[in-house]
Structures are given as C-alpha cells and as structure tokens.
Structure 1
C-alpha cells in the first residue's frame, strides 16, 4: 500500500470523513489489548515498535540494539512477523534458502546480521528462539501485539514527519492513540532531525520518558563514492522521500526519483526498465538495502545498493536502558545462540 499523502499534512476533509472508521480501529485495538494475557518468554524481550503505519526506521534500530547486546556477549535473536512473506513460522531464517517471498524483507536484513526468527505467533517464536539458545529477543515491530510480554519497549519516530496528522488509520497513520502508546513505552527514539517536534510532544504528554536521538548514516566509503554522481533512485519503503533526501544530503544529483509502495514485489521487467532508463540518463541506478532483498537475483549486480546504519547522538543512553534488563552473557562470550 502506498502511504496516503494526507496522512502527513494538516487534517482535512479526507481525514474528517474517515475519522469514524479510525475511532472503530482504535477501539478494536484497545479491546484486543485489554482482553489478552501476554506470554512471558524465558529471556528478556526488547520490542522495537512505532505508532504509525509504514517505515519509521524500526529495523535499523533493531539491528543497532542487537549489535549492542552482542558487544555485551549476549546471544540475541531477532524476531519478526515476516510481513510480506508466506511462512507462518516459527521458522529460523536462512538467507541462503529463504527469499523475501518466504519471510519478508525485514527478516532477511535481520538474518544477515545474526539469528532471526519469523513467527506470526510472537509467543511461539520467542519460545523457539530461547530453545535455540537466545538469551535476549529483539522483536522488530509488535508493539501493538499483546501476545508477548515486553521487558523493554523502544518506540521509533521519524523526526521529519513524527506522528503525522494525529489521526488513527485510515484517517491518519496512527496505529493507536499517541498518549496510549507513550504510556506503555520505556523510551522513544527520534531518527533524523526533529522537524516535527516529536521530543516536545513527548515531554508534554509523558514527562520523564527518555528520548534518544539518532540518525541513519551510510558508511563513509559509500557516501564518498556517491558524492557528485548522477543517480536514478528508487525505493519501496514506507517513505521513499527519506531515502531520496539521504542521497541528496550526500551531495549526489538525483536525475530521477521513482517511489514504490512499501514492500513492493519487484518484477524483473520493472527493474530492467529502471536500469535501461538510468543508462539513457547517464545515471547510476541505486536503491535501499531493504529493497535489494526483493530484487530479482540476476539483476542485483547491475545497480547500486546503499545500506545505512544507526548513529546515536549519545550511545550511552541506549546502554543505560539495556542495563535495566536481566541479561546473561554466554559463558564463552559469543554473540549468537546455537542452531535450532
């Protein structure tokens, strides 16, 4: 689904007309929360969630949290629903055997860095990870899923757009009311410049809730290589404009921007046409790491992929949050659990 433009503007006629449906959506979510007894896993669960539909940067933050746990010698496994994939799980992701159509694109990104499980039943997925040696679970999304108890919940917000027009789906991007979500969170991560005033909104609604600031950055070598280059950029993420802005900030010249819907399943003919169009324009075709795992394998080598990673303004703030958890390092200090 392509994100409706009115979600991130001042509330207008479309938002007003859809507000009753948004109220029903919110009420259904609150009933689900109230009527579910969460399962407690045998290892701490760290949830990386958000309050809006679409990409806010959860997966890069989850990777950064898993890396921080690995530095402590804690065997952390990732857990995700596998949005866009056909496998219900619990299934340990093997990038050599599984594709995006099997497990979704986020799962493949997470599995490239460490053990990752796909499970529509998050509780069953957490138990499978623990049985395979996980001493911490980093759950990508699932903040609004009450089936699995969370020991630490980090909400991620895109500093450029924040919580959008403040309305619930479908009148706006919110999965639940901002105040409700902030009350259940342990901290909020603002990615990028806080142009939407997210930190001020959090201070007004939930004084004392820690706010961490970070940004998504490409590796220095990638940034230097793309500076001054003519690019045809395409992306099928929650907000493709964020990727385009990243490229422009590097000093690249974007001769064409091609947005797709989030999780778009790329067809070979589509990608071949983009590559041909880039050649006609004298440009280099470039996309995101999340999109790259959905590309036809035979065409990936013909374009450029720009991976990004989280850079924290204050890395110690994340460490302080992790210090709250009963984390047990592996006896040999290794970062990963045993194979299932």
Structure 2
C-alpha cells in the first residue's frame, strides 16, 4: 500500500473529511442563522461521480481514512449508494460518517450494510426542550431513536459529540457522561469554537473546566486510543462500558498531530479547518485534469499546510472565511 503524503512538519496525512452537501435540516444556534443561509446551486455541488473519483485519487495517494460530512450528509439523495461506492475502494481502511441523527432512524441499517462502521452523532443535550432551543427544531426523540437504531445495527464505536457552552448546556456535562455507564458509547465534549465572535467569550468553557465537572461523576482514568493521532484525549470511568473524549481545539490544540484534509461540498480543498486559503479541486476536475494532475494539486496544497491554526488571535477569528456548516467540520 502507498505510504501517505507528509506535510512540511512531517505529519502523515492519511485522513480526508469529505463534505457532500451544504444543506442541513437543523439550525443550531452556534452554526447558522435561524432563517438559514443561501444554498449552493445544484451545479456548484460536487457530483457523485466527482466525489467518488476524488476518493479513488486520494486513496491511491495513501489516504486510508475518509469521513463523510455535510451540512447534514443524510439529507442528500442516494447517500447510501455513494457510501457503498466509496466503501468498495480497495485501499480504503476506514469509512465513517458524521450526522445530526435526525434521519438516522430509517437509514442506520442501510449505512451499516453500505460499509460504514463508525458513526459520530451530534448530541448537545438530553433535554428535549433545550434541544429545540439549541437546534431550532423539536426533534430530540427522532435523534435519540436514530442513536438507538445505530446501536442496534452494529455500529461501534458510536461517538456522541457535545459542544459545551457555558450557560447553555454545561449543567448537563455529568448527565451526558453517565451515558457511558449505560451504553458502550464514546461521549465526546468539544470546546466551543469562535465561529460567532459576538458570544464566544461568554460561552467558552475550557477542557480543564470540563474535566473538573466530569470528576464529580467519578474518577477519570486516562486510556490509550487506537486512533492515536485523532483530536480527542480519552478517559474512562471505573465500571463504565464507554469512554469519555475531550476535544480542545482552543486551550490545548492538537495541531502537532493533525493528519487531515477537508474537501467542501463545492469542491474546495482545505488543509486546516480554519485555513484562509483553499484549492479549487472542482474546477480542475471539470476542466479535465488527469489523476496525476489532481494528485499534484493535492500534494502542492499539503506542502502549504500550516503548522497550526491561529484561533487564539482575536483578529483571526474575525477573518474566518467559512462557517462550520460550509466546511464540513
């Protein structure tokens, strides 16, 4: 198998987050305005044959892990066909998906059969009323049923992602963590990131503050991760079936081990979540670039991958070029 490309800081780039849509059926307060945003035109979105070609090109370069993202990927028509097609690429070692869970109840079994074995679901609260307030949609029960359907389908691990916001859901840190006693889930707590400068400083809670809240549940024991270059630090409570993950892009950033690229739904390659520059892969594809030319374009972008993000700079926060839903997380 081809060795993955490396960047100027000797990081092995073996993971691609691949957005297949900018559309979402929720309107989370930390992600987008209540009225939504202008949608990309149909012709601006990568077609499935273009997505599949990109997946084949990057796996031939040595990238062995792909995660399907959005917006909300499950809203795109024929998503099971796409997942099955990507899963069939011989060099691919891991195919996963991130979803808000609203449509997961009816699609979980099909996703598993298509070849996706790892799934991340956003779950910021266990309170239906608060869920409606955060997401602006009253569908907590659908999401919970989707998580249970994924559990029954055989997904392992199921990772539940909670963005922790002071004064919004930080009083539920312990309750969310206790899910790991009932289910073999990975409950992951993510520091609030400054995509909306106006309320960032009031809402931010550091990873150390989150850990302090978790210690009220019981002793946290650090555990090794099989995905050692992922963003989370892992812990477990004695007697728990699942794990706790702490993701701290602000207070304890994981840039030194970053192994990922991102492709947006409109075909732009980003070497950092908070990059200022993008590489237009869609234009190259549609102008008839060969696989070798596409590889050169991707390698050139990797050669310019920054050493780290600059989120700790207030000036940088105001210059973030895309909101999260338009990047793919």
How high is the TM-score relative to the length of structure 2?
Answer: 0.26
How high is the TM-score relative to the length of structure 1?
Answer: 0.25
The structure with the largest alpha-carbon Rg is 1
Query: Per chain length, whose mean CA-contact separation is higher, i.e. which structure has more relative contact order (CA < 8 Å, sep 6+)?
Result: 1
